[in-house]
Chain A
């Protein structure tokens, strides 16, 4: 493994498990990636693939009682976030790393004015007066395209798109260096999604933030990401630049994702989805987790865990059938 200390954020061999009454859910199984300053990495995968668990592990907000990071390191400029105390993490969370959640309806406090919710975040991390915090909050509201005179309104008075803008304003209020965006536009209509995505990309540029974009939508990935990691059953199965992934999808699962997608630009015939269902995370198959659904499987795939192999410069794939 290369020296990761000079990367901005690097996640190394991360394992996350959830313990339930009598089983262990293997949500994240040895995930490694790096994120550079100003770059956007897309984590793509289906429900239950472990995408959100990765983001929550980075931010240290996995539910204490059930979840456990059983192995791995998360280095932010060389410092391991997993070794920090809760008090130290509080300083990083919301200040250096922020997160936007999928559902803006549940991310906001329903009995607190939207402006105050932004100001609260500002005051938590900066030694400023109430008045200064309010001024900053007004600025943030206007930046996300909400008129300042709506500062004193409550979340229920806002539409879905506007609520998500408020969530974004809160996330960006302290100029974070890393934004973890967990399906930020999934709950929104397409025309509103287009507005919000455009705004996120603009803001990312002007703040030179790094972003981890978690989504199941390959269209969103194509629009905003520089690099892409495809996640399946808690593992990254393919990693590469946006061009690598979209021009030369290589892992059978990645190909399956593209095959399942109806094409909006031409009349398509029958779809070719991957048959079957994702594996049960309490009982993952031996060797390649994709084995039971794979059309190119051989006996060898079942024998041992398959390592990521470089099939082209910077383009990695976890599959025997590729790259040889």
Chain B
């Protein structure tokens, strides 16, 4: 399995008046070709920042990013433009990410025009195909974003993102703003497109049932750090990090006859500004001990399943 994208020790810090905000701190993982990596965590854990840093919407503070084996951590503006054709993003809020003064058609064809690779007739043809592909009705093509409902807007955002046949797409909470039935339609569309076009996805979301459904592998983040990563079903069947276990237990279950054993966490997220070394979850962890104050390392506990917790072995027997 060849990795399409690989990050190692990736860091993204923001300067704030109170000090450095560690949004992404020493994150290492890779995504294999044609696979979907789900990134989950609660608001403020750095999952969106991670996605944006990986595709150069934000400049990284440290670490390396490799795309198809090539180091792309520091690239020239010219190179970046080429790179962008292969790295795209679908945003959470399709309303604020579309230009309100451009019609659906204009939005979808813009990447094709900007690439400079197509003739006018090719652009028209390609745009038509794209809109058919993502299911935008013909009568909607001259509409403006405010005339569309959320699901259709998201389809426009998707069409624009995949216009140049990127190999890697960051899906940043693409269905969080949608109702369940529309959400399911868009999830199905994303899966079909991935199959047809052999795309690799990084799927950022806070919705754990969506992430299980769509991902092959999952990363769990807490305050900028990767606390656990594993193949999707393994993570749900055998969560090992205390945070992952609490997170999964908190999902409201529709199985009314077998309610979940809930691990209710005390307290809230601590500040990611100038964090203390050691496990960031320690302040809320029911299993906290002295060793948690030291930096933790991501350790492989079974093939493909990595956990960053010094007490992982003891806790999980």
Contact = CB atoms under 8 A, between A and B. Distances in A.
A277 B179 CA distance: 10
Given A197-B252, A219-B253, A264-B208, A191 B180 contact: no
A264 B268 contact: no
Interface string B217-236: 00000000000000011001
Contacts of A217: 252
A162 B268 contact: yes
Contacts of B43: 160, 189
B268 A256 contact: no
Interface in B184-206: 184-185, 187-188, 191, 206
Nearest to B177: A47
B114 interface: no
A161 to B, nearest CB: 6
Nearest to A273: B184
Given A219-B254, A220-B252, A246-B254, A194 B264 contact: yes
Nearest to A162: B268
Interface string A244-262: 0011000000001111111
Interface residues of B, number: 42
A190 B42 contact: yes
B42 A191 contact: yes
Interface residues of A, number: 45
Contact of A191 (B179, B210, B246): B246
Interface string A274-305: 11010000000000000000000000000000
Q: Which of A191, A216, A272 has the most CB of B within 10 A?
A: A191
A124 interface: no
A259 to B, nearest CB: 8
A132 interface: no
Contacts of B247: 190-191
B94 to A, nearest CB: 14
A196 to B, nearest CB: 11
Nearest to A145: B266
A153 interface: no
A86 interface: no
Contacts of A260: 180-181, 183-184
A19 interface: no
A219 B213 contact: no
A201 B269 CA distance: 23
Interface in A176-214: 189-195, 197-198
A178 B40 CA distance: 36
A159 interface: yes
A260 B150 CA distance: 17
A254 to B, nearest CB: 11
A24 B232 CA distance: 48
A192 B180 CA distance: 21
B252 A193 contact: yes
B262 interface: yes
B28 to A, nearest CB: 25
B212 interface: yes
A261 B151 contact: no
Nearest to A247: B256
A265 B188 contact: no
B315 interface: no
Contacts of B42: 189-192
A203 B31 CA distance: 46
B182 interface: yes
Nearest to B185: A273
Q: Which of B250, B253, B265 has the most CB of A within 10 A?
A: B250
Nearest to A293: B181
A222 interface: yes
Q: Which of A264, A272, A274 has the most CB of B within 10 A?
A: A264
A71 interface: no
A273 B250 contact: no
13 contacts: A190-B247, A190-B251, A191-B42, A191-B264, A219-B251, A220-B252, A246-B256, A260-B180, A264-B253, A265-B255, A268-B213, A270-B191, A271-B213
Given A260-B181, A271-B213, A274-B181, 18 more contacts: A159-B268, A161-B268, A190-B208, A191-B42, A191-B265, A192-B268, A193-B252, A194-B249, A197-B252, A198-B262, A219-B251, A222-B254, A223-B259, A263-B213, A265-B236, A267-B232, A273-B182, A277-B149
The 8 closest A-B pairs by CB, nearest first: A219-B252, A273-B184, A262-B213, A260-B184, A264-B209, A189-B42, A194-B250, A46-B179
